[in-house]
Every structure is written in structure tokens, then in C-alpha cells.
């Protein structure tokens, strides 16, 4: 069997299109030569609310250069040329990334691509959560924040970080231990705001492989776990209150809807069917074919035969020597046939072994194209489950991939239903308040189908080489943030009659190097 599902080698990663100088000059004139103007918007004091995207999180970490390249900071640079004031950001202490709590590392370093795979940069984080920064800060993007966290008192309480009751990023710059993110924003009397929130309300459920709970019908976020899906009614109430608070004194703003997180590289990079004869034979097709024959005779065949008796034969098909075969996975939505399989295998395997087989395969099936294998699972495939003896000691091949490694078709549907509901709220509130609206839901589809072309550069969602996303498969690259900033700028121009320019995305890196 294979030891690892290896990273693909990228022999010629397209860094040639990158500019190693991230200091991007923005002309004070529009494309027609006229001075930049904010139109009917007033941008003298801009405040940004949101999550990790607003903060500039990239490559699995928050760090100084990433914060400088956030879409919010790019927008603020534009605003400065049309009368905008200072846009103050709660910068991290280094470009290593990661966080300390009382000197202990709670989040590790950022990633870089070493030519073969994403790996952590060298060095130790030096950003201490308990070291308070002096604000106020215009960039109130907080990594990890869900919609209801923006209005949660104590979300920046340092004492609550260790117990998971508070956010370590917000704890560094919250104005007090009891304040809320929205309260700190409103206190600045902004004339213009941006709000992009809601992705984390489904993202943690998705990245965890759906191990959380879909909280639809539960209107009490205090009872939610970290990987749960936020109830759409809760989201609607919170979102409406946030916008009401931000517009109470007449501030204009821009809001954005949510793409399906399941379109991110984190969910589209690892195939559901990686088990070819070559892979199973570690490059030797003959060995792979022999392995397939043995698996069909000793495991897949008997499983399918037993499941067919119980009317569930479609869960398992025999492996093919000529096609790419799907992974074996657990699907908790299936009827549990553990008892039935135990009874079926007892005559040939004995009670103890048959019972084990029943427990392992009672809710097992082969993956389909509608199941999404998460990015981190690529190192799990074909590894050995702890304490499981041969011949079942190979995840995805003879032992099912577990719930945390795969987002099943049913779980994908739950994510999409929730996202659609959130987006309905966002559009409704934007229309009611007369705010600029950024349509981002379709952007991931464009990225996956030919890409987005800006300034002669085609950017896609392909992991590592596509240019849109960073090495964590979730957050944008520097160029990705520039594209997002342009989309926000377009929406602001369309709504308020401003003439802010798009930045040249070719001036932004595809990926950050090891050394910054």
C-alpha cells in the first residue's frame, strides 16, 4: 500500500509574474485623468469589519506583510487619495506569523512553498496575545470571527482566550475586556464602513468535515460549538443589528455576499478517487493490479455481497485495474448496518473479528464526486489507523476515511443551504440601507471555470499555482486580495458615483516567499 498521498511536484511554479516589491503606487488620478473622488460617499474615516479576510490572513497565519496586503488596506489606500484619513491596523509583531499566550505558542508559523510542498517558515512567533495595543483601530477584521461574535461582549477578553471564550486576535486590540467589535467600530464615528462577514458561520463546519452540528432552529449562539453551522435566523438578526449600528449616524458603506466555501481549494484539491493501480502499487502497475485483485477477493467482494443482501450493495463496488478508484469513507447519514454485517461475517471470521468488521464498515461506502476530501486528508490517505491490525490498516483503502476528513454530499448541501440563507439576508439589508453590494458568490465559479483575467493575468482557484489562494487553501494570496479589493472598488464606484481605480493585480505576489 502507499505510505502517503504525495504532493504533486510543481517544476515551474509561476513566480515570474510576481513583483517582490509589495509597495504598490496608486495614482491620484482616475483612468480618464480626472482626480479621484468619492462621489456621494464620505471616506474621511473608514472602518472595516469582518473576519480573517478583512484582517489579511494568508498562508495559515496573520503577519505584517499579509495585513498590509489585505483588501481593506488596499481600499483604504484608494480612499486616502480622495480625502480619506489614516487607516490604522493592529499589526502583528513579525512576518513569521503565529501567536503566543503567556509565552506559549498557540498558533504556529505561516507556510511557504519549498518547491515540493507547503511547509512552515523557520522562526518562532513573537506576537504575544497579552500585550495590549493602543487603538482605536480602523481595521477590525478578526480571524475566526463568526457573525454573532461581532456583537458578543467579552470576545476580546484576554482572560477568556485560554478557555476558548474569547478571540486571541481581538484580545490584543479590544478597547476593553467587555467591549464588542461593533462597539469599537461605532465609537470611531466612521463615515464609511465595509462589512464582509458570515464565511466562518459555515467554514469551520466544512473544514472539520462536518463534525459539528447544523444549528438550524437553535436561536441561542451561546450553546453552539466551534464547528457548528449558525442558524440563518440568528445570522439575519445579528447582521441587521450590525448594519443598523454602523449606519445610525448616516455612514455609507459596502457589504459583500458569501461564496460557497466548498469551492475553495481546501475542498477541491484532493480527488475523491486517487486509488489507481499505479498508486496502489507505489508506481508499479503490476503490483497495483495484484493488490486490487487481492482487495476485491478478500474485502470489497465479501462486503458488497453482504451489503447486497441487505439492499445496500451500491455502497461498495469492486476496484478497477483500469480506472481511478474512490476512497473508502464513513458516512454517518447512512443506516448503520453494523449488527447485520457482524452476523453475516461471523461464520467465516469468528465473533470477535466479525464484530470488528461490523463496527468498521457499518456506515462505510465509497466516495463519489459529490463528496469533498479536505486538504489536510491527503497525508491521511493510506496511513495506518492507530491500533488497527492488518489487513485493515490503510485509511481510505481498507479502512474508511473518518468524518473529519471528508465533507459528504449531504453535508455539502447543508453548507450551501445556510449560505444561501445568509446571502438573502445580506442582499436584503444592503438594499434596504442603500449600501454598495459586492457580488462574490459567483467569483469562485469563475475561478474554477477558466479563471478571472485582470491586467493580462489569468487567476484561478488551482491550489498553489492558480494565484488566487494562499497555501492554506482557504485564504487569498496577495494577488487574490488585490482582486477582491478591485471588486469592492467596482461596487463602491457603481453605487456612489466615485471613480476609484482598480489596482494592477500583476503588481502583487502570487505567493509569499520564505523570507520577507
For residue range 472-499, list pLDDT tens digits in order.
999 999 999 999 999 999 999 999 999 9
For residue range 360-406, list pLDDT tens digits in order.
999 999 999 999 999 999 999 999 999 999 899 999 999 999 999 99
Look at residue 33 in the predicted model and tell me its pLDDT.
66
Q: Which long-range contacts (CB under 8 A, 24 or more apart) does 344-353 make?
A: 344/306, 344/309, 345/302, 345/306, 348/302
State how far the Cα of 10 lies from the Cα of 115, in Å rounded to an integer: 7
State how far the Cα of 252 lies from the Cα of 246, in Å rounded to an integer: 9
Chosen domain end from 356, 382, 407: 407
Confidence of residue 40 (pLDDT cuts 50, 70, 90): very high
The mean pLDDT value for 143-172 works out to 97
Q: Contact 35/500 with Cβ under 8 angstroms?
A: no
The number of domains in the chain is: 2
475 DSSP 8-state letter: S
For residue range 52-79, list pLDDT tens digits in order.
999 999 999 999 999 999 999 999 999 9
Handedness of CA 160, 164, 167, 172 (dihedral sign): positive
Look at residue 35 in the predicted model and tell me its pLDDT.
83
Look at residue 442 in the predicted model and tell me its pLDDT.
87
Q: Which residues pair with 192 in a beta bridge?
A: 46, 252
Q: Are residues 197 and 262 in the same domain?
A: yes
State how far the Cα of 310 lies from the Cα of 429, in Å rounded to an integer: 51
Chosen domain end from 407, 426, 459: 407
Q: Are residues 116 and 223 in the same domain?
A: yes
Sheet holding 252-256, edge to edge: 139-141, 46-50, 192-196, 252-256, 436-438
Look at residue 2 in the predicted model and tell me its pLDDT.
36
**Minimum mean pLDDT among 142-156, 190-204, 323-337, 437-451: which range?**
437-451
Q: Are residues 291 and 261 in the same domain?
A: no
Tell me the C-alpha to C-alpha distance, in Å, between residue 368 and each of 408, 440, 503: 9, 28, 41
Enclosing domain of residue 317: 283-366+372-407
- β-pairing verdict for 252-256 and 452-454: unpaired
Q: Contact 161/171 with Cβ under 8 angstroms?
A: yes
Helix/strand/coil (H/E/C) assignment for every residue in 155-168 = CCCHHHCCCCCCCH
CATH of the domain at 474: 3.40.50.1110
State how far the Cα of 54 lies from the Cα of 282, in Å rounded to an integer: 43
pLDDT greater than 70 at residue 197? yes
Q: Is residue 10 part of a domain?
A: no
Residues 6+ apart with CB under 8 A from 446: 452
Q: Are residues 123 and 259 in the same domain?
A: yes
Q: Contact 49/194 with Cβ under 8 angstroms?
A: yes
pLDDT greater than 50 at residue 169? yes
Q: Is residue 400 part of a domain?
A: yes
The mean pLDDT value for 229-254 works out to 98
Confidence of residue 12 (pLDDT cuts 50, 70, 90): very low
Look at residue 30 in the predicted model and tell me its pLDDT.
56
Q: Is residue 231 part of a domain?
A: yes
Q: Are residues 126 and 238 in the same domain?
A: yes
**Minimum mean pLDDT among 36-40, 129-133, 140-144: which range?**
36-40
Q: Is residue 19 part of a domain?
A: no
The mean pLDDT value for 442-446 works out to 88
Q: Is residue 92 part of a domain?
A: yes
Look at residue 23 in the predicted model and tell me its pLDDT.
44
pLDDT greater than 80 at residue 159? yes
Q: Contact 475/59 with Cβ under 8 angstroms?
A: yes
Q: Are residues 340 and 473 in the same domain?
A: no
Look at residue 445 in the predicted model and tell me its pLDDT.
86
Q: Are residues 166 and 237 in the same domain?
A: yes
pLDDT greater than 80 at residue 4? no
**Minimum mean pLDDT among 20-29, 59-68, 132-141, 476-485: which range?**
20-29
Look at residue 31 in the predicted model and tell me its pLDDT.
56
The mean pLDDT value for 19-34 works out to 52
Look at residue 22 in the predicted model and tell me its pLDDT.
46
Q: Are residues 256 and 330 in the same domain?
A: no
State how far the Cα of 414 lies from the Cα of 332, in Å rounded to an integer: 14
Q: Are residues 239 and 308 in the same domain?
A: no
Q: Is residue 152 part of a domain?
A: yes
Q: Which long-range contacts (CB under 8 A, 24 or more apart) does 84-89 make?
A: 84/38, 84/43, 84/44, 84/45, 84/46, 85/44, 85/45, 85/46, 86/138, 87/46, 87/48, 87/138, 87/139, 88/135, 88/136, 88/137, 88/138, 88/139, 89/137, 89/138, 89/139
Confidence of residue 146 (pLDDT cuts 50, 70, 90): very high
Instruction: Please indicate whether residue 144 or residue 20 has the higher confidence score (pLDDT).
Output: 144
147 Cα distance to chain centroid: 15
State how far the Cα of 202 lies from the Cα of 493, in Å rounded to an integer: 30
Q: Which residues pair with 407 in a beta bridge?
A: 372
Angle between helices 338-349 and 351-361 (to 10 degrees): 150
Chosen domain end from 407, 431, 460: 407
Q: Contact 101/162 with Cβ under 8 angstroms?
A: yes
The mean pLDDT value for 301-321 works out to 97
Q: Are residues 162 and 63 in the same domain?
A: yes
Q: Contact 429/255 with Cβ under 8 angstroms?
A: yes
* 254 SS3 class: strand
Instruction: Please indicate whether residue 370 or residue 23 has the higher confidence score (pLDDT).
Output: 370
Q: Are residues 214 and 231 in the same domain?
A: yes
pLDDT greater than 90 at residue 21? no
What would the DSSP string read from start to end of 300-356?
A: IHHHHHHHHHTT-GGG--PPPSSSPBPPEEE-TTS---HHHHHHHHHHHH-HHHHHH
**Which grid cell sits at 443?**
467569483
pLDDT greater than 90 at residue 170? yes
Q: Is residue 339 part of a domain?
A: yes
Q: Is residue 7 part of a domain?
A: no
Q: Are residues 301 and 260 in the same domain?
A: no
Confidence of residue 29 (pLDDT cuts 50, 70, 90): low
Angle between helices 301-309 and 338-349 (to 10 degrees): 130
Amino acid at each position: 500500500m502507499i505510505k502517503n498521498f504525495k504532493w504533486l511536484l510543481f517544476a515551474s511554479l509561476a513566480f515570474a509574474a510576481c513583483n517582490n516589491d509589495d509597495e504598490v503606487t496608486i495614482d491620484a488620478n482616475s483612468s480618464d485623468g480626472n482626480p479621484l473622488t468619492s462621489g456621494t460617499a464620505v471616506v474621511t474615516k473608514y472602518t472595516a469589519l469582518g473576519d480573517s479576510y478583512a484582517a489579511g490572513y494568508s498562508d495559515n497565519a496573520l503577519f505584517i506583510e499579509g495585513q498590509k496586503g489585505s483588501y481593506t488596506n488596499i481600499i483604504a489606500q484608494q480612499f486616502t487619495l480622495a480625502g480619506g484619513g489614516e487607516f490604522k491596523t493592529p499589526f502583528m509583531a513579525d512576518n513569521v506569523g503565529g501567536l503566543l499566550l503567556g509565552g506559549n505558542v498557540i498558533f504556529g508559523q505561516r507556510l511557504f512553498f519549498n518547491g515540493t510542498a507547503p511547509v512552515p517558515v523557520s522562526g518562532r512567533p513573537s506576537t504575544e496575545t497579552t500585550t495590549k495595543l493602543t487603538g482605536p483601530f480602523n481595521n477590525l477584521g478578526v480571524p475566526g470571527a463568526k457573525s454573532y461574535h461581532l456583537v458578543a461582549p467579552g470576545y476580546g477578553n484576554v482572560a477568556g482566550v485560554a478557555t476558548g471564550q474569547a478571540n486571541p486576535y481581538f484580545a490584543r486590540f479590544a478597547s476593553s475586556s467587555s467591549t464588542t467589535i461593533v462597539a469599537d467600530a461605532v465609537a470611531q464615528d466612521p463615515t464609511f464602513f465595509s462589512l464582509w462577514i458570515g464565511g466562518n458561520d459555515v467554514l469551520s463546519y466544512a473544514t472539520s468535515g462536518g463534525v459539528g452540528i447544523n444549528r438550524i432552529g437553535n436561536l441561542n449562539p451561546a450553546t453552539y460549538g466551534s464547528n457548528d453551522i449558525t442558524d440563518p435566523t440568528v445570522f439575519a438578526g445579528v447582521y441587521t443589528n450590525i448594519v443598523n449600528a454602523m449606519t445610525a449616524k448616516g455612514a455609507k458603506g459596502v457589504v459583500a455576499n458569501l461564496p460557497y466555501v466548498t469551492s475553495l481549494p481546501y475542498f477541491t484539491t484532493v480527488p475523491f478517487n486517487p486509488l489507481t493501480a499505479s498508486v496502489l502499487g507505489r508506481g508499479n502497475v503490476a503490483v497495483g493490479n495484484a493488490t486490487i485483485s487481492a482487495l476485491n477477493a478478500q474485502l470489497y467482494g465479501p462486503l458488497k455481497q453482504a451489503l447486497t443482501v441487505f439492499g445496500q450493495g451500491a455502497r461498495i463496488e469492486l476496484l478497477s485495474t483500469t480506472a481511478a478508484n474512490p476512497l473508502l469513507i464513513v458516512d454517518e447519514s447512512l443506516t448503520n448496518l453494523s449488527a447485520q454485517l457482524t452476523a453475516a461475517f461471523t461464520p467465516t471470521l469468528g465473533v470477535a473479528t466479525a464484530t470488528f468488521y461490523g463496527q468498521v464498515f457499518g456506515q462505510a461506502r465509497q466516495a463519489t464526486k459529490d463528496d469533498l476530501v479536505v486538504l489536510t486528508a491527503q497525508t491521511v490517505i493510506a496511513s495506518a489507523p492507530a491500533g488497527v491490525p492488518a489487513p485493515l490498516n490503510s485509511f481510505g483503502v481498507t479502512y474508511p476515511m473518518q468524518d473529519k476528513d471528508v465533507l459528504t454530499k449531504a453535508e455539502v448541501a447543508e453548507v450551501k443551504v445556510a449560505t444561501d440563507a445568509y446571502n438573502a439576508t445580506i442582499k436584503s439589508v444592503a438594499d434596504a440601507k442603500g449600501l454598495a453590494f459586492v457580488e462574490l458568490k459567483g467569483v469562485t465559479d469563475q475561478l474554477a471555470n477558466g479563471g478571472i483575467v485582470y491586467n493580462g493575468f489569468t487567476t484561478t482557484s488551482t491550489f498553489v499555482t492558480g494565484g488566487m489562494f494562499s497555501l492554506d487553501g482557504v485564504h487569498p494570496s496577495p494577488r487574490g486580495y488585490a482582486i477582491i479589493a478591485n471588486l469592492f472598488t467596482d461596487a463602491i464606484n457603481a453605487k456612489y458615483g466615485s471613480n476609484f481605480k482598480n489596482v494592477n493585480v500583476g503588481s502583487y505576489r502570487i505567493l509569499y516567499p520564505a523570507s520577507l
